[in-house]
Amino acid sequence: MKKISKKVLIPVFSGLVVIAAIAIIAFSFTKKPKKTQESQGKLILGFSQIGSESAWRTRNTQSIFEAAEQNDIQIIFDDAQQKQANQLKAIRSFIVYQVDVIAFVPIVSDGWDNVLQEAKTAGIPVIVVDRQIDCDESLYAGFLGEDGYEEGFAAANFLIEKCKNRLGPINIVEFSGTENSSIATLRAQGFRSIIDDYDKFNIIHSEDGDFLRSRGKEMMDRIIKENGGLRLNGHTIDVIYSHNDSMTLGLLDSLHNNNINPRNTIILSIDAEQKSIDALVNGELNCVVECNPNSGPTLMKLVKSIADGKPIPRVTYMLDKIFTENDDFSTYEPRGY
C-alpha cells in the first residue's frame, strides 16, 4: 500500500480533531441541561423555620412537608427554636451542602444581608417565606406569605363598623407579636391606618406577647391583678386587638380564671385556628382574620420555577378570609389547625 506523505496526513488528522472537538462541544450544549440535583435525583430545598410557637406555625410546617412530598422535593429542615442565630447557622449549612434552593421564615426583619450575600455568591437562590425582610432585594428571588398590613386593616374595618353608633372614648389594648418581626409591624400599621382617623378610638396600651399563648395569659393576668379587673390606669378596656390566636387563647384563659366574661369586651384576633373559631362561635370573640398557613403547594411551585432558572414574582400573597360574629356559623368548614 502506497505510503501517505506527512504533508497530507497532518492537515487531514488535525481537521478530524477539530471536527470531533466541535461535535463534542455541540453535544454538550444541546443534550446536558443545567446540572441540578433533579437530573441526578431530587431537587433539594433547605428550609429554615422559626419554631413551633403556635398552631398556625405547626400547620405551616406540615403544609410545607406535605407539598414537598407531593412534588418529590427533598427538604433539609431546620427548626430555629425562635432564634435568629440558629437560622443564620442553618442557612450557612444549606450553602455548604449546596442545596438547590433555600427558603426561610425570617423571625425578625433585619440582619440577613451577609448570609444572603453568601448564598448569592454560592449561586443558591433564596425565597423569603411568611415574614418579610429589610434588605437589598437583589439578595433574594421573591417573597411568599401573607399581607400583614391587610390583616390589620381588616380587623380595624370590622371594629369601625361594629362601633359606628357608639360614642367614644373606646379604649383599645393591643397584644402585639414578636418585636421587629415584619408581621407585627404590618398588623399594627394596617390597624392604625384606619383607627387613627377616628378620635373616639384610643390605643391605650400595646405590648409584645411574642405570639405565645403563655405570654397572652401572663399579660392579661398582670393587667387584671394590677388594675383590679379589665381596666388599665383607670380606663375601661373596651377592645382587645391581638396579633395572633395563641395570645388570644391565652388572654381568654386569664379572663376565665378571673371570672371575667369576655362577651363584655370586643376581642379581635388573627390566624383563625380552630380553637379561636370555636371561641367566636361561642360568642367570646367578635372577629377573627384568617392568616392562611397552607403555603406549601405555592412554595413548591416557586422552588421548581427557580430551579428551572425561571423568574418568580417579587411578591406572592396568600389569600385570607375574615370570620365575624355576623356570619352564618353553619357554613364554617373545619380549619385543620
Q: Which residues bind ligand GYE (CB under 6 A)?
A: 53-54, 56-57, 130-131, 146, 183, 211, 244, 246, 270-271, 291
Q: How far is the CB of 215 from ligand GYE (least distance, A)?
A: 11
201, 168 Cβ separation under 8 angstroms: yes
Q: How far is the CB of 291 from ligand GYE (least distance, A)?
A: 5
Q: How far is the CB of 65 from ligand GYE (least distance, A)?
A: 17
Q: Choose between 158 and 175: whose C-beta lies nearer to ligand GYE.
A: 175
Within 8 A by CB and 6+ apart from 161, the residues are none
Q: How far is the CB of 22 from ligand GYE (least distance, A)?
A: 55
Q: How far is the CB of 55 from ligand GYE (least distance, A)?
A: 7
Among 216, 195, 186, 197, smallest CA distance to 276 is for 216
Grid cell digits, residue 292: 392562611
Q: Choose between 142 and 209: whose C-beta lies nearer to ligand GYE.
A: 209
Question: Helix (H, G, I), strand (E, B), or coil: what is residue 20?
Answer: helix
**What's the gap between Cα 297 and its chain centre?**
14
Q: Choose between 46 and 106: whose C-beta lies nearer to ligand GYE.
A: 106
Among 233, 221, 110, 109, smallest CA distance to 175 is for 221
In terms of DSSP bridges, do strands 201-208 and 235-236 run parallel, antiparallel, or are they unpaired? unpaired
Report the C-alpha gap between 231 and 219 in whole angstroms. Answer: 13
208, 173 Cβ separation under 8 angstroms: no
Report the C-alpha gap between 253 and 246 in whole angstroms. Answer: 11
Q: Choose between 124 and 126: whose C-beta lies nearer to ligand GYE.
A: 126
Report the C-alpha gap between 156 and 218 in whole angstroms. Answer: 25
Cβ neighbour number for residue 317 with a 10 Å cutoff: 15
Q: Choose between 78 and 146: whose C-beta lies nearer to ligand GYE.
A: 146
Q: How far is the CB of 174 from ligand GYE (least distance, A)?
A: 14
Q: Choose between 120 and 275: whose C-beta lies nearer to ligand GYE.
A: 275
Q: Choose between 171 and 182: whose C-beta lies nearer to ligand GYE.
A: 182
Q: How far is the CB of 44 from ligand GYE (least distance, A)?
A: 25
Residue 202: Cβ-neighbour burial (10 angstroms; 0-12, 13-18, 19+): middle
